Amino acid sequence: MKPPQGPADKTLPTPDPTQVQLIRSYGPGHFMISDREWRSPVLVTPTRTTEWNVARAEDLALDNLAALKEAPTPTEFLVVGCGPRAVFLPPALRASLKSAGLSLEVVDTGSACRTYNVLLAEGRRVAAALIPV
């Protein structure tokens, strides 16, 4: 990440696409993340994108987020992109994620992609769990 130039500079730091996983675009059945196209659900962290074995947001469980524990820095904010529209996650799952120290945002996939990029640009420790639209 490139830091602001000085105390008077109000520009947000911009992610260096060679150093972070930046969501460039999404569309029916695919994502373009940094310079690679993905045609499956994905789990995106600032340092890595991996295929994610969840086809529907309703199937989300703590077990299929285990890759977040392998990230070099702990994730503080998880954005879940549910596909074309957001769904409600079970209260027990929300409570488990909260007790694991994760703030959670559950939205449609387009909103999740935008939110991830904004939080990444702010230097937040964010991850996105994305199901294609």
Is the Cβ–Cβ distance between 131 and 106 less than 8 Å? no
The model's pLDDT over 17-28, given as tens digits with 9 standing for 90+, comes to: 668 999 999 999
Query: What's the CATH number where 69 sits?
Result: 3.40.1230.10
Is the Cβ–Cβ distance between 80 and 57 less than 8 Å? yes
Residue 126 lies inside a defined structural domain of this protein: yes
pLDDT recorded at residue 38: 98
- What average pLDDT does this structure show over 85-109? 94
Query: What is the total count of domains within the chain?
Result: 1
pLDDT recorded at residue 11: 41
pLDDT recorded at residue 100: 87
Q: How far apart are CA 11 and CA 77, in angstroms?
A: 22
Residue 97 lies inside a defined structural domain of this protein: yes
The model's pLDDT over 50-90, given as tens digits with 9 standing for 90+, comes to: 999 999 999 999 899 988 887 788 899 999 999 999 999 99
Q: How far is CA 6 from the centre of its chain?
A: 29
- What does pLDDT average to over the chain? 88
Residue 15 lies inside a defined structural domain of this protein: no
Residue 63 lies inside a defined structural domain of this protein: yes
Q: How far is CA 62 from the centre of its chain?
A: 15
Residue 4 lies inside a defined structural domain of this protein: no
pLDDT recorded at residue 15: 61
With cut-offs at 50, 70 and 90, classify the pLDDT of residue 103: very high
Residue 7 lies inside a defined structural domain of this protein: no
Q: Which domain holds residue 125?
A: 23-130
Residue 5 lies inside a defined structural domain of this protein: no
Give pTM, 2 decimals: 0.85
Quick one: CA dihedral 60, 61, 66, 69, positive or negative? positive
